[in-house]
């Protein structure tokens, strides 16, 4: 009776169904123990290292776990005799299926590889403010996953950017240790503008706009250094292009500060007689020939 029990199912399973089931359970337990052990080791290493390496360890941990369980499953299926008999056919079919799935998931796999390189080289980290000029995107990095990077914008919305884009695009990175954010403002003034008066007005406006930060040191303030440089950027057909930085305490406040700055400039420039050129169209009626 005992021998019959252990040999039951031997036509399908190696050494019978009971041995196959026991081996399968033991292999799965061993795989789980190995995966958990690797996770603990990776967690200990991540604690010792800086936080920027957590993404690398997450990638390594999940990849190793997938490999361990894949090997375990194939080992268990190797104990099924019909699968051994048709192993070559299944291998060929699985190869074809792998090619089809690979082509279908090419973009996803590319994002995974790009995310891995982002984790390795760390051009930016969670909490950084990044700008992608060629994509006209910018925001604070809130998450970096296998497939995409999440950016929080000034409008408090989330942008889901594929890792392949983040890995190939030219970007500007601002670490979270410096929470101030600077954006340049441009304005065109007429050629008859008193440049010195215009500069003084802009500096005075910067002193009263909420959330605008004075980045000068105490020594620079005592020495009479101006709040920020104002550049004569270009000579245009309609006027002089002026460019200057506006620095705020946070990224989100920069948008409101720029709006307040433009509004105040309109008022101050109009009062000081400084013209902001714009296109004017004069419509002249034809003489009445009747």
Q: Are 154 and 252 in contact (CB under 8 A)?
A: yes
Angle between helices 106-121 and 87-104 (to 10 degrees): 70
Q: Are 163 and 121 in contact (CB under 8 A)?
A: no
pLDDT in tens, the chain (290 residues): 566 656 666 677 777 777 778 888 888 898 889 888 877 776 776 655 555 456 666 667 777 788 888 888 878 777 776 666 555 555 555 555 555 545 445 666 777 777 777 777 778 888 888 888 888 888 888 888 778 888 988 777 888 999 888 888 888 887 765 567 888 999 999 999 999 999 999 999 999 999 999 988 899 999 989 999 999 999 998 899 999 999 998 877 888 899 999 999 999 999 999 999 987 777 766 666 65
End-to-end alpha carbon distance in the chain:
124
Q: What angle do CA 116, 120, 126 make, to 5 degrees?
A: 85
Domains of the chain: 2-104 (no CATH), 123-174 (2.30.30.60), 181-272 (3.30.70.100)
Q: Are 18 and 8 in contact (CB under 8 A)?
A: yes
pTM above 0.85, yes or no: no
Nearest to 129 by CA among 251, 41, 47, 20: 251
């Amino acid at each position: 009776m005992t021998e019959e029990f252990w040999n039951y199912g031997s036509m399908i399973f190696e050494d019978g169904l009971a041995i196959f089931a026991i081996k399968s359970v033991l292999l799965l337990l061993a795989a789980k123990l190995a995966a958990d052990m690797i996770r603990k080791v990776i967690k200990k290493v991540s604690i010792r290292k800086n936080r920027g390496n957590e993404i690398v360890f997450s990638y390594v941990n999940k990849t190793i776990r997938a490999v361990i369980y894949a090997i375990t499953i194939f080992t268990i299926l190797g104990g099924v005799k019909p699968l051994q008999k048709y192993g070559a056919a299944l291998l060929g079919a699985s190869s074809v299926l792998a090619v089809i799935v690979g082509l279908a998931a090419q973009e996803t796999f590319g994002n995974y590889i790009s995310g891995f390189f982002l984790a390795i080289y760390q051009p930016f980290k969670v909490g950084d403010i990044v700008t992608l000029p060629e994509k006209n995107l910018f925001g604070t990095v809130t998450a970096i996953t296998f497939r995409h990077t999440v950016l929080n914008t000034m409008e408090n919305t989330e942008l889901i950017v594929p890792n392949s884009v983040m890995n190939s695009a030219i970007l500007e990175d601002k670490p979270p240790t410096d929470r101030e954010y600077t954006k340049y403002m441009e304005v065109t003034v007429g050629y008859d503008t008193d440049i010195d008066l215009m500069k003084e007005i802009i500096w005075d406006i910067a002193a009263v706009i909420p959330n605008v930060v004075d980045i000068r040191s105490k020594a620079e303030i005592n020495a009479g250094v101006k709040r920020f440089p104002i550049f004569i950027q270009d000579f245009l057909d309609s006027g002089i292009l002026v460019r200057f930085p506006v620095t705020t305490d946070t990224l989100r406040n920069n948008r409101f500060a720029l709006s307040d700055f433009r509004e105040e400039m309109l008022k101050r420039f109009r009062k000081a007689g400084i013209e902001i050129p714009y296109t004017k169209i004069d419509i002249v009626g034809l003489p009445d020939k009747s």
